[in-house]
A and B are shown apart, each in its own frame.
Chain A
C-alpha cells in the first residue's frame, strides 16, 4: 500500500496532466501546476473517490496545495 502522500501525488498528476515528479509537496494547484477552477473541483472529486470519503465544499475550497490535500486526508481519514 502506497503512502497517502504518494496516492495524493499520483491523483494530482493524473488529474492535472503533469508528471508525478513535478508534483512537489509544496506545489499550489493553480499557481504551480496550472489548474483552473474546474480542475480543482475535479481534483477534489478524484480525491473523494480514491479515499472513499466526501469532502464538504467549505473544506474543499481550502485545499489549494498538495500539502493541504495530504493534511486533510491525514486528519480526516486516519
Chain B
C-alpha cells in the first residue's frame, strides 16, 4: 500500500454526526468511502454528500445487529469496489437508564448494536485485510467507557468492551500490518448533545478544561490520521478527544 490511498473505507453509522464527519474526512483523504445507515433515506443521504464531494463511494443500508446483513453488505462492497482496507466502527445507540430501572432490552439492544456488532463487522473485513497485509480498524468509543456516567451502565460497558476488544485483536493481527485502535470522544457537538438543556450544557462545559464542546471534525481528524500510512506503528491504543475532561 502506498501513501496515496485509493482504498475502500467503510464507516458505519455515517448518516449524521461524528460518522458523517469521518466519512467526509476520509473522502477528502481520497478513500473510496462506503457509509452505512439503518434506513434507505439515511443511505441515500450518504450517497448524496459523497457524490457532491466527487467520491465514487456510496451509502448502503446496514443493520449491524444482523450477521447475514453484514455478510451481504460486505459482499456488495467487494462486488462494487473491493474489500475494505479501513473499517470505522462508529454506529452506536444509547438507551439510558439507571441500572435499577433498566429493562433487559435496554441493556441488550445497546450491547448488541455497540459491542456485538464489532464481532460481526471486524470479522467480515479481516479476510481482505490479512490478504492485503494492510488494514485499519478504528472503533469509536467514548470517554464514558473510561470515566463512567450515571445512567449509562449499558453504554459504558460497550465502550470499555470495545477498547478491550481492540487491544486483543491488535495482538492477533499485528503480524499482518493491521492496526486496531479506539478513538474516544468526549462531549462533541452533535444531535445527541444538542438535546441537552442549557443548564446541563453549562455544567458540562465547566468540567472541560478547554471550555467548549468538541466538533465532529476534530474527531474525524484523528480517525483520518489513524487510517493513514503514517499511523502504521500505533496499535491497540485509545486516543481520547475530550478537551481535557478526562486525562
- Mask: chain A, 29-48; 1 = CB below 8 Å from B; 0 = not: 00000001010011001000
Interface size, chain B (Cβ < 8 Å): 7
Chain B residues positioned under 8 Å from A38 (CB to CB):
130, 172-173, 175-176
Instruction: Let me know if B131 is at the binding interface, CB within 8 A.
Output: yes
Chain B residues positioned under 8 Å from A36 (CB to CB):
175
CA distance A36 to B130 in the complex (A): 14
> Chain B at the A interface: mostly helix, strand, loop or mixed?
helix
CA distance A38 to B131 in the complex (A): 11
B residues with a Cβ closer than 8 A to A are: 127, 130-131, 172-173, 175-176
CB-based contact A45/B127 at 8 Å: yes
Chain A residues positioned under 8 Å from B131 (CB to CB):
42, 45
9 A-B pairs (CB sep. < 8 Å): A36-B175, A38-B130, A38-B172, A38-B175, A38-B176, A41-B130, A45-B127, A45-B130, A45-B131
Chain A residues positioned under 8 Å from B127 (CB to CB):
45
Interface size classification for chain A: under 10
> Chain A at the B interface: mostly helix, strand, loop or mixed?
helix
Chain A's closest residue to B127 (CB) is: A45
Chain B's closest residue to A49 (CB) is: B131
Q: Nearest-CB distance from B195 to chain A (Å)?
A: 43
CA distance A45 to B126 in the complex (A): 12
Q: Nearest-CB distance from A47 to chain B (Å)?
A: 13
CA distance A36 to B174 in the complex (A): 13
CA distance A42 to B127 in the complex (A): 8
- Mask: chain A, 56-72; 1 = CB below 8 Å from B; 0 = not: 00000000000000000
CA distance A52 to B227 in the complex (A): 32
Q: Knowing that A38-B176, A45-B127, A45-B131 are A-B contacts, what are 7 other residue pairs whose CB atoms are under 8 Å apart, sorted by A's residue number?
A: A36-B175, A38-B173, A38-B175, A41-B130, A42-B130, A42-B131, A45-B130
